[in-house]
Structure 1
Amino acid sequence: MEPSQYHLPVLLHEVVEHLQIKPNGTYVDVTFGGGGHSRAILEKLGPQGRLIVFDQDEDAYRNRIIDDRVTFVRENFRHLHRFMKLHKALDADGLLADLGVSSHQFDTGARGFSTRFDGNLDMRMDTRNAKTAADILHTYSEQRLLQIFQDYGEVTNSKTLAKTIVQLRKAHPLRTITEFKSLIQPIVKGNPAKYLAQVFQALRIEVNDELGALKDLLTQSQQVLKPGGILAVITFHSLEDRLVKNYMKTGSFEATDDNPYAFETPPKLFKPVTKKPVTASEAELKANPRSRSAKLRIAEKV
């Protein structure tokens, strides 16, 4: 499969420009996906340069780049520090994370990420993990389901949705996308496509513990980057963007008030390079509508 068909890399030129790639540097792409960003980084690297890539997805591994300068780690990026240490690649010059789901994952119905197809309610980015979206729908308590839909999907009627699922699952299987959609159809609020996208986003984040993994990645990024190293993160929804923005600004995941009378100021770990997030150009939006919600934030390790 052609990499471009697999996944159109978002904000490619902006990423390459901001990473300021040194020919003999060490770089990490923690979300290899279709390899678009990795290939662009590799083009700028000389014979002594190194690229470490992470991806837990089997399809991404099958599409890996065969090059002596590239090390492929088929693991979740939350294990960043351990594997960077193992491959003697600490003190990296730059790290890129392009979060969310690749176009290939969305377009493969059997993976269960998209509401457009029928398939099992799976949503695992790493198929070696046990827990699927169907497991969550069948086993989580009403309160826990409410929390997920509220926090991760910002679903308007989370309470009704959680209650409906718990009532219906006793008598109905919730194994496939079609079964699930038809059962919750009577309570869908507003635009059905948007509503289902929010519900699916919430389930996907829970299945893959995406926010927990992102926090682990950000915390470890300052352990693997050298001073002056660049951290570049592309997010696709406000939950991720908020974590990245706060961490780059204050080294914490919560927004902190700039209180001049505070006794302790946590040491600055990063300094943001761009005041506002970088977004897609008009040309890119035309070529790839999925880039509309992409936000790139860049920071330099202090």
Structure 2
Amino acid sequence: MGEPVRWAILGAGKFAREHMGPAIHGATGAQLVALGTSSRDKAAPFEGFAPELRVHDTYDAVLADADVDVVYIPLPNHLHIEWAMRALRAGKHVLVEKPVGLQAAQIDPLIALRDETGLIAAEAFMIAHHPQWARARHLIADGAIGDLRHVDGVFCYNNPDLTNVRFDAAKGGGSLPDIGVYTIGSTRLATGQDPVEITHADIDYLNGVDVMARVSARFDGFTAHWVTAMNVHQTQHMTFLGSEGRIHLCAPFNAGSYGEAQLELTQIDGSMRVERWPNHAQYVTQVVAFCASVRNDAPYAWSLEDARATQAVMDAVYVAALPR
């Protein structure tokens, strides 16, 4: 199989510590070799599962590390573009957390630099690497529910900590940047379509960020309604309603931690079939797929162009919510 793809992480935050760090360490063909953080206390848990990890006290030192192939960037949203471009200029492939940018136009220079360098750069949209979404996409395209008429998506959680970065407007906080990428992005992923119009957008703000957004959109042949919230009981589901059936995903985004990944297919004769993926590790699959792109130029399931298209929808949502 050859030498493993060597990964580094910028920052030692909770998500990297609990999810992507272990996924990189555990993925076949990948090796977590470096971490950028000035806090030895924050580095310690990473060293616990990756004892040979090199800890650099600056992000620039990580980018200067010649033994790093890929840089994973889970920094606060407003820093994604800056450090992704710095990493590409340093000759590193880049996997950057969602949302890549805070406006669609911000992603254009990153796409141009990716093309200029010939390196791999993509958004860490992990659900694109989960088989439940490949299955949903196939069933919709195959006509298993007839003609798609409507999509209903909900992703909510209740975070009472107003000091959390998600409540900081200057750092790209808000429910849409944090989780709207899932409801909107998964609709695009499953259908291969972008909305032709945002027909309604109602947003509640707190501290200058959207804490709840209710959005309706029209696509070519179907409609969609999405709810995202940071002040509502933890809930997530995606439902695709067709002329002759329904597809319902019970744990579409945080499969495993929220609940078991299940796809319920109900058809016109009243029958219902449930498909399950109880043990699929989508973060690990994402790392393996990225390594395949780096080593073998294999197609990657979610590109910067995909990220840009989802961000363009969110941009349109904010505009539609403005007072008339």
Give TM-score scaled by structure 2 length: 0.33
Higher strand share goes to which structure?
Answer: 2
Higher helix share goes to which structure?
Answer: 1
